[in-house]
Amino acid sequence: MRSGLFFGRGLAHLLAASIILLITFDPVEAKKKIFVPGRRAIVFDERISVLRERPDAKSRVVQRLRRGREIGILASAATRSGGRYLRVAISRNREGWILAESVVIPGSRLDAQKILRLIDETSDDFIRAKLARLCADEFRTTALAPAALLKLGETAERVAERLTRDAGRRLGEDPSIPGVSRRDLFLNFIGLDRFNKIGLTFNLRRGRGEIHLRRQGLPRAAEKISEKQRSGEGQKFKVQSLKFNALTHGVPPSGG
C-alpha cells in the first residue's frame, strides 16, 4: 500500500489547474542490494566526497561519490593538518580514502544534526529535498526525524509552487499534441523528473486555483517515530513537532 503526504499552500489561479505534491516513501527505483564490507555509512556532502587512493588531498582521485551513496567504513587515519580520513569500501573489491566529514552513520543523532545544518545552509531546493529525505529515511529512530520531515514539507511547498508556475508557462508556449491530454502534458513536464527520482511525485487537480495540504497516511519514515519523539526533547523540538503534526494532519479539502 502506498502512503504519502500532500503538501501545499494557496497559489494564484493558473490555467484552471494546479499540481498536487505527493511525497512517497516507498522505494522509487528498485536496486539490487550490493554487499559492501565494513560499517555502513552514507555520503551526504558532495562538496568534499572525493574518494582517493591515499589519505591525502594531493593523492590521486578514484572518483567522487554522490550524495546518498552507501559505503562501508574499514578504518580511519588522521592527517598532519588535523583532518580525518576514512578508508571505505564502495563494493566487494574496491576501496579508497574519503574525508570523514563527508559521511554520516545512520541512526546517529550528531550526524542527523550535520544533515539538518547542511539543509539550512543550502539554497537549492532539490538538494534540500534530497538531504531531508535522506535524513528522514536514515535517522527515523532519532528525535530529529520530525525536524527532517518538516523541512521536507516546507521545501516541497516551494517546489510545488515553482513547478506549477514553470509548467504553466511551458504549456502556454508549447503546442498541443494530438492524442495527449493536458494532464499528461502537465505531468510530463521535464522539471518534475529529478524530484520524482527521489520520491516526490505529482498529480494534477483541475478546477482549483490552490495546492491543498492533505494527509493520505503517514509515510513509512514517520510510522516509526514515537509520540515521545514527536513531542521532542526540549521546547525547540516541541515547536517543530507541532508544525510537523499540523502538516501531516491537515484537513482534506472538500471533494479531495
Q: Which pLDDT belongs to residue 52?
A: 98
Kind and range of the H or E run holding 49: none
Do residues 11 and 209 touch, judged by C-beta distance below 8 A?
yes
Segment 78-105 shows an average pLDDT of 95
Sort 30 into a burial class: Cβ within 10 Å, 0-12 / 13-18 / 19+. Answer: exposed
Give the CB-side neighbour count of residue 145, counting CA atoms within 13 A.
25
Q: pLDDT for 140-191, tens place per residue? A: 889 999 999 889 888 888 888 888 788 778 777 666 788 888 778 777 888 8
Do residues 15 and 207 touch, judged by C-beta distance below 8 A?
no
3-state secondary structure of 71: strand
CA distance 39 to 109: 17
Nearest by Cα to 118 from 50, 9, 64, 43: 43
CA distance 211 to 13: 10
CA distance 170 to 160: 15
In 168-202, which positions are buried (b, 16+ CB within 10 angstroms) versus exposed (e)?
beebeeeeeeeeeeeeebbbebeebeebeebbbbb
Top-confidence residue, 164 or 13? 164
Q: pLDDT for 36-91, tens place per residue? A: 999 999 999 999 999 999 999 999 999 999 999 999 999 999 988 888 999 999 99
Segment 198-208 shows an average pLDDT of 69
| Cell digits of residue 89 | 569500501
CA distances to 14, 170, 180, 202 from 175, in Å: 17, 10, 11, 22
Contacts of 17 by beta carbon, 8 Å cutoff, 6+ apart: 168, 182, 183, 186, 204, 205, 206, 207, 208
Domains and CATH numbers, the chain: 39-104 (2.30.30.40)
CA distance 130 to 242: 23
3-state secondary structure of 61: strand
Segment 108-130 shows an average pLDDT of 96
* Residue linked to cell 566529514: 101
Q: Which pLDDT belongs to residue 166?
A: 84
Top-confidence residue, 235 or 19? 19
Is the pLDDT confidence value at 3 over 80? no
